[in-house]
Structure 1
């Protein structure tokens, strides 16, 4: 599923670097959100997003960790067996986050939820913070993905 107005990040005039991918097998919901955040934080550290050089880089890093939590939480809540795998791919210009699960049902933005009630806000957060997001069939389930531009080169920001 490709969302209207949300397409994968092009990097005009620049070739991406070699892509580095980190994978975390999850195999269920128990502790998945916390493990995913810790795994993502370590990946971002290895890619020099952390420690953050400035407030903008810190904000983008915190946004990524929040979005990872939201995608994994959705898989915990709505996919049989919870999330299967978290994948982070970094090419020097954009970060792609992917969460695989066993449900073939694509995620959808709900009408605006009551701000005073829990639930129904996760994909709205992703929609506002990610440059692009969507889902693709994968095996008998799906892969929900998002992309964000690098905070390491503010001139290349496409927001």
Structure 2
């Protein structure tokens, strides 16, 4: 796990960290949610932003675990300027993702619809290793933007 602090302007704090989950399993989405919650709490992000990104990372991580059989999933969290974002990368074969409504009786197929509903924007791209990276962001309210990160590192 790495954490970087690189201010771009006087009033913009940039924080970024990532964690690799080796041998992802059904437990990985919960571990990713906890990682996002602990990190954003440590950084002083608003609770609503943390809740939204926890839901988003859970959906994206579930997709990576369920559909790619990737030997590793990487979750990145970034807080920059007026938004917070998460990205989930896998090593599985690249796939084109679309947010489409599932049939009412379908057990799966709503994750990206939720991501689209909660994120201000999201995108996908082929990762360097041929897998898929999905990034989603939510806005930070001006009056609740973190002003100074703590020095504690997430576990």
TM-score bracket for the superposition, by shorter chain length:
0.7 to 0.9
Contact kept, 8 Å, 1:85 with 1:100, in 2: the verdict is yes
- Tell me by how many angstroms 1:151 deviates: 3.6
Say yes or no: does 1:64 pair with 2:53: yes
Q: Residue in 2 aligned with 1:37?
A: 33
Contact kept, 8 Å, 2:49 with 2:84, in 1: the verdict is no
- Tell me by how many angstroms 1:83 deviates: 4.9
* Change beyond 3 A, Cα 1:44–1:147: same
Q: What TM-score do you get using the length of structure 1 for normalisation?
A: 0.74
**C-alpha RMSD over aligned residues:** 2.3
Q: Which runs of 5+ in 1 are unaligned?
A: 1-13, 50-56
Q: Residue in 1 aligned with 2:18?
A: 23
Query: What do the CA deviations read for 1:122-155 (whole angstroms, capped 9, x no partner)?
Result: 0000011100001111111121110111145379
Q: Residue in 2 aligned with 1:121?
A: 110
Q: Residue in 2 aligned with 1:149?
A: 139
Which segment drifts farther, 119-128 or 18-27? 18-27
Q: What TM-score do you get using the length of structure 2 for normalisation?
A: 0.76
Q: Equivalent residue of 1:36, what SS?
A: helix
Query: What do the CA deviations read for 1:87-136 (whole angstroms, capped 9, x no partner)?
Result: 001124211110001221121123x2123432110000001110000111
Say yes or no: does 1:133 pair with 2:122: yes
Q: Equivalent residue of 1:37, what SS?
A: helix
